[in-house]
Chain A
Amino acid sequence: MIKTEDLKKVYTTEEVETTALNNVNFEVRHGEFVSIMGPSGCGKSTLLNLIGLLDNPSDGRYYFLDHEVSRYSERQRANLRKHNIGFVFQSFNLIDELTVFENIELPLLYQKVSSSERKKRVTEVMEQMQIMHRKNHFPQQLSGGQQQRVAVGRAVVGSPRLILADEPTGNLDSSHGEEVMKMLLDLNEAGTTIIMVTHSPTYAEYGHRVVHLFDGHIVTENLNGKFHV
């Protein structure tokens, strides 16, 4: 599904150049659940941003669904992104001024889905995430776990083929963390490809394989032995 060749990302600020990623070769197939681990600052988020088409690499090639997209324009990337990728962030990133329903609805708005269809799909997702009763609440009125469920709901409502989760459990206590992991697992079982960054070895175990990043390089990959082609 995705494949990177010699992927490189260099950040240039006024004073210094930071090489966040260096020669990363990485492949994820359809239906996989990949965990990424590594110390803080090693480039995990950078990698996820590149995979998620939020940014262009400085060098190297990136194949997304067999398109070479590393030189795509912002507009082309946005187009691919909105139809294929869902995001879950550590800090949820919900819009405070919108209700739960409206937050989940948002990606469908940008995909120009009709209003009745939107309503149907948002309701479905809310049921699936068990937040139906919170439909008209604002994010501030929810607990962290509930907020993250809304965020997951928003990530899946457009039926993306790939979900990228950057430390989705980082701000949650363990019971809520479990809950979210369970949901990701369910989605994966339903066929969605998932790439997740985490600091927790326990949660990393949920993936089919774990990729270790160190200082912008992939150091090891270990198969958890759960993946069958």
Chain B
Amino acid sequence: MFKNNFIIAWRNLAKQKMYSIIKIVGLALGIAACLLIALFIKDELGYDLHFKNGDRIYRVILRINDGDHIWQISTFPAPVVSAIKSEFPEIEEVGRMTGLVYFGAGSNDIRRTDKPDNIFEEGFVYTSQGLLDIFQPQMIYGNLDHALDGPETMIISKRKADKFFPGENPVGKTMILNNDRKRIYTISGVMEDPPRHSHFQYDFLMTLSEGLYPGEETNWNSQSSTVYTLLHPGIDVASLETKFKKLAKKNAASLIGKSEGPEADDLIAKITYRLQPISDIYLKSEGISDEFQHGDIRFVWLFGMIAIFIFIIACINFINLSTAKSSKRAMEVGLRKTVGASQKSLINQFLAESILLSFLSFSLGVVLVMFLLPYFNILSVKELVFPWNEWWLLPLLACAATFTGILAGLYPSFYISSFEPIAVLKGSIKRGCKNASLRNGLVIFQFSISIILITSTLVINNQVAYILNKKLGFDKDEVLLIQGTKSLGDQVTSFKNELLKLPDVKNVTVSDYLPVSEMKRNSCGFWNEGKQEVDEAYSAQLWGIDHDYIKTMGMNIVEGRDFSPEIAGDAEGCIINKTMARQLNLENPLDQTICTSFASWHVIGVVEDFHFESLKENIGGMCLTLGKSPDIVSVKIHTKNMSRTVASITHVWKTIAPYQQIRYSFLDERYTMMYDDVQRMGYIFNMFAMLAIIIACLGLFALSSFIIAQRTKEIGIRKVLGASVLNITFNLSKNFLTLVALANIIACPIAYFFMNRWLQDFAYRIHVRSWMFIVSGGIVILIALLTIGLQTIRAATANPIESLKYE
């Protein structure tokens, strides 16, 4: 019987090929989307589960409750470690780490002391032995105990060991950073590479046995370290958190510089502590700024909801498609019933059919996922793999397919199998369905979502185009940045001079301060001369540049002049931007004197405002002075053959720094990189928009085939009475287009609202224009017309006698 059901189900699918394919593909798309999102969520939830005592490891967070805002601080002064250790017997171990670039964490040029070639590496961090004892990484060489206890010790990851010491045991060998004789480290161990699902992604763990600098261990005045604790088993975290309040006084002192007085008391009252489970660090660190890569639990929820949503809609479309064709099956049901089939056996029959369809959809869905996964990985910046070798995969998919089949098949089976045989055979079955408005509503809803997404995509893409083409106040094109030139020392000047001899090189400047984000910054308080006691300080950037900076960057002097090597007094001069002049109320800024708490300069020129941060921010004040910050050399090039020019620059580099790889990038690429997240968002919206429109079209297809099936007889009669194909087509399309038009009306204000809000993130932005709505509406109407077109025209051109014959 069971087998029989499936054989008949298969024949039925084969008979209505077109319909079966649309049903399967529609459901498969929904399933593929859900599977992708499920993989994404599983990955996001899988972080930091590998630690041995993971359930007892917590990161210390300090919270300041300011009434309307809670500040969460994750960095502490170094002595807090010993304070925690001595204060709280509940805690087994305390450790700290710091990734401060200022002290040489982050990235460095590194080499074996016995080899001359420097290699640029990232992933340097200072780590205490205590942290090592808490995290307990798997060691391949060396012993975890006391590995970082000695001075100048370092643990490296396996992949770096393989790179620098292939086939050797590196323990006991030495490495040097940035050619700096003071930074020679002895390797005390090699650990397994950090798992991909770890928030702690470092390859070089450098010791903290003597602090970052002499005296750091007792200095309460710098917030340098992230602190982790390992609790004893069975400790109540909440009560321990309250006990941490003991530390508030010292922390307050380190935050505002005093531990007595009303100000300090006020702050101490606002301080609480939180012990954050290590497995929460990746996903649940909203509002905490630290140096780790994070996911966002809100996105997990959002995507989860989207997945459920897509799944429900795909199922509803499936149900609608099934019931739409029910009249074709009514005859069969009537006959089966007259020969004695019970409703139950008929339900089984139809369920078998939908379960079969569901299995086919799941198979296709999995295939789709395999194809889409690489693209999805690019979009989500992940390395998801389909869990083929997990034992639970196939049973899980089978259960899900059965469940979906039953879910999507239940209503249609009851609906179709309940037809009364006599009514069916007499042909008097009414194909109308009470929930026509539900179907209409669903189509309107699906199209509204599509229109919202398409409009959003248009807005985002336009904002991106605006960003990439905006006049920035400097010329980002054809500027090559050579990084890591600090290691050249005094030779940087001769490097510069050699570069200027190349024919394609127009200008060269030496400065780390560059007008793209994630570059060196230096914020200071400024006053007009003599106003230190009267005015509030105006916070602006103070950048050290050389004589060629403004020329190289193509900035515009609007008043006064550029720095000149001929004029000796320029060392005390400065060039400010227009915003700075405005903010300091300098109507005639030239020759005025401005100062900080430590120096003063006279203004020799005013430069046109240029964007030195993301367009999300307004342009701030800027004071350019002559100064040395030699880690980046920027080269303005004008060439037809970029690779040849780069080759000749590389050649010059090799003559000056033979043991260091040249490391360069382009200013315009760096600029574009600043908006990677915006562009990625555009792609994601694009993808969802496409998915939404496909699903919406399936919905519309289901609805239109349902309605056309219902109206076949009417169409036949009208044609007999002289209606033309055009008449009928128009008549049919009108109803569907009304739905799409309604969807437009609903979607436009919503899209406008959300996109306007999104644009508020940008200080410099486009406006949401009416053409965007017209375009997205037009696209949707066109696609809707194509969807219903084939069926409508087929219905309109059908020979009327066919549809009237069986009446």
Contacts and interface: CB of A to CB of B under 8 A. Distances in A.
B429 to A, nearest CB: 12
Contacts of B724: 75, 78, 110
B180 interface: no
A89 interface: yes
Contacts of A49: 801
B801 A97 contact: no
A79 B718 CA distance: 13
Which of B717, B722, B805 has the most CB atoms of chain A within a 10 A radius of its CB?
Answer: B722
Contacts of B720: 52, 54, 81, 87, 93
A154 interface: yes
Interface in A50-97: 52, 54-55, 74-75, 78-79, 81-83, 87, 89, 91, 93-97
A55 B801 contact: yes
B767 to A, nearest CB: 47
Across the A-B interface, the 4 shortest Cβ-Cβ residue pairs: A82-B722, A110-B722, A91-B807, A107-B721
Given A54-B799, A110-B727, A93 B722 contact: no
A111 B724 CA distance: 11
Contacts of B722: 78-79, 81-83, 107, 110-111
Interface in B754-807: 797, 799-801, 804-805, 807
Which of B713, B720, B805 has the most CB atoms of chain A within a 10 A radius of its CB?
Answer: B720
A106 interface: yes
A79 B726 CA distance: 13
Contact of A82 (B714, B716, B721, B800): B721
B271 to A, nearest CB: 73
Interface string A24-58: 00000000000000000000010001001011000
B721 A54 contact: no
A107 B799 CA distance: 18
Contacts of B714: 95-97
B203 to A, nearest CB: 69
Q: By DSSP majority rule, is chain B's interface helix, strand, loop, or mixed? A: helix
30 contacts: A49-B801, A52-B720, A54-B800, A55-B799, A55-B801, A78-B722, A79-B722, A81-B720, A81-B722, A82-B722, A83-B722, A87-B721, A89-B807, A91-B807, A93-B713, A93-B716, A93-B717, A93-B807, A95-B713, A95-B714, A95-B717, A96-B714, A97-B714, A106-B717, A106-B721, A110-B718, A110-B721, A110-B722, A111-B722, A154-B721
Contacts of B721: 82, 87, 106-107, 110, 154
A52 B797 CA distance: 17
A41 B724 CA distance: 30
Given A75-B724, A110-B722, 7 more contacts: A54-B801, A78-B719, A81-B722, A94-B717, A107-B721, A107-B722, A110-B721
A224 B515 CA distance: 106
Contacts of B805: 45
A137 to B, nearest CB: 18
B723 interface: yes
Contacts of A107: 721-722
A79 B722 CA distance: 7
B557 interface: no
Contacts of A83: 722
Contacts of A110: 718, 721-724, 727
A25 B720 CA distance: 25
A83 B722 CA distance: 8
Contacts of A89: 804, 807
Interface in A209-229: none
Interface of A: 45, 49, 52, 54-55, 74-75, 78-79, 81-83, 87, 89, 91, 93-97, 106-107, 110-111, 154
B796 to A, nearest CB: 10
Q: How large is the interface on B (under 10, 10 to 19, 20 to 34, 35 or more residues)?
A: 20 to 34
Nearest to B799: A55
Nearest to A154: B721
Contacts of B797: 74
A74 B725 contact: yes
B299 to A, nearest CB: 49
Contacts of A154: 721
B721 to A, nearest CB: 5
B398 to A, nearest CB: 37
Interface string B712-747: 011011111111110100000000000000000000
B724 to A, nearest CB: 6
B432 to A, nearest CB: 9
Nearest to B804: A93
Nearest to A79: B722
A32 B105 CA distance: 107
Nearest to B715: A95
A82 B348 CA distance: 49
A91 B806 CA distance: 9
Which of B713, B717, B799 has the most CB atoms of chain A within a 10 A radius of its CB?
Answer: B717
Nearest to A94: B717
B771 to A, nearest CB: 39
A78 B719 CA distance: 8
A52 B723 CA distance: 15
Contacts of B723: 78, 110
Contacts of A55: 799, 801
Nearest to A81: B722
Contact of A106 (B718, B725, B801): B718
A24 to B, nearest CB: 17
Interface in B405-459: none
A135 B724 CA distance: 27
Contacts of B807: 89, 91, 93
Contacts of B716: 93
Interface in B660-687: none
B455 to A, nearest CB: 36
A134 to B, nearest CB: 19
Contacts of A96: 714
Nearest to A155: B721
B800 to A, nearest CB: 6
Contacts of A81: 720, 722
Which of B716, B721, B722, B723 has the most CB atoms of chain A within a 10 A radius of its CB?
Answer: B721
A49 B718 CA distance: 15
A175 B722 CA distance: 32
Nearest to A157: B721
A109 B721 CA distance: 9
A176 B504 CA distance: 103
B310 to A, nearest CB: 35
